């Protein structure tokens, strides 16, 4: 198993079902994933995989951040697995974090204005009184 502090060796009971698939009941208790990652290692892996332009770079970042060595494909599967679970939760209407009351900026037409960036390169903003603001960023 791989933890946020690196590999961990432990002995556990292994049971064989008649269907040919094995079972290790202990793994479910601490939340060990099918990729043999602890919950903390999976979080770090998904963050590294999601923050980088490639899963290979995510694996290198994970090694730099936490000295955890995982292959590119493990970073990919862990990141996509977490993304799939988040998508399922959002699909069921789950929200993350507490509700927040936003103090909206008032635009030129007296309406609330929010600035949103989805590409992490910068978000242009409106100037005072709704005028153009050359190069103004959040």
pLDDT tens track for 78-137: 999 999 999 999 999 998 888 888 787 787 788 887 777 676 666 667 777 777 776 655
Cα gap 96→116, rounded to integer Å: 18
28 vs 55, more confident: 55
Cα gap 110→129, rounded to integer Å: 10
Kindly indicate the confidence band of residue 22, based on its pLDDT and cuts at 50, 70 and 90. Answer: confident
Exposed, middle or buried: residue 94 (CB in 10 Å: 0-12, 13-18, 19+)?
exposed
Question: What's the whole-number mean pLDDT along residues 45-66?
Answer: 94
pLDDT tens track for 59-82: 999 999 889 999 999 999 999 999
pTM above 0.85, yes or no: no
Tell me how far the alpha carbon of residue 102 is from its chain's centroid: 24
Cα gap 29→85, rounded to integer Å: 19
Ramachandran quadrant class, 67 (left: phi over 0; alpha: psi -120 to 50; beta: rest): left
Torsions phi, psi for 20 (to 5 deg): 95, 0
């Amino acid at each position: 198993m791989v933890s946020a502090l690196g590999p961990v060796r432990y002995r556990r009971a292994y049971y064989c079902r008649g269907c040919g698939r094995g079972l290790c009941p202990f793994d479910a208790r601490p939340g060990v994933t099918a990729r043999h990652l602890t919950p903390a290692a999976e979080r770090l892996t998904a963050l590294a995989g999601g923050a980088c332009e490639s899963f290979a770079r995510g694996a290198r970042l994970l090694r730099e951040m936490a000295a955890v060595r995982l292959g590119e494909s493990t970073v990919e599967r862990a990141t996509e697995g977490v993304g799939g679970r988040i998508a399922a939760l959002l699909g069921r209407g789950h929200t993350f974090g507490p509700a927040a009351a936003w103090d909206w900026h008032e635009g030129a037409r007296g309406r609330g204005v929010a600035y949103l960036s989805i590409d992490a390169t910068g978000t242009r903003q409106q100037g005072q009184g709704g005028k153009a603001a050359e190069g103004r960023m959040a």
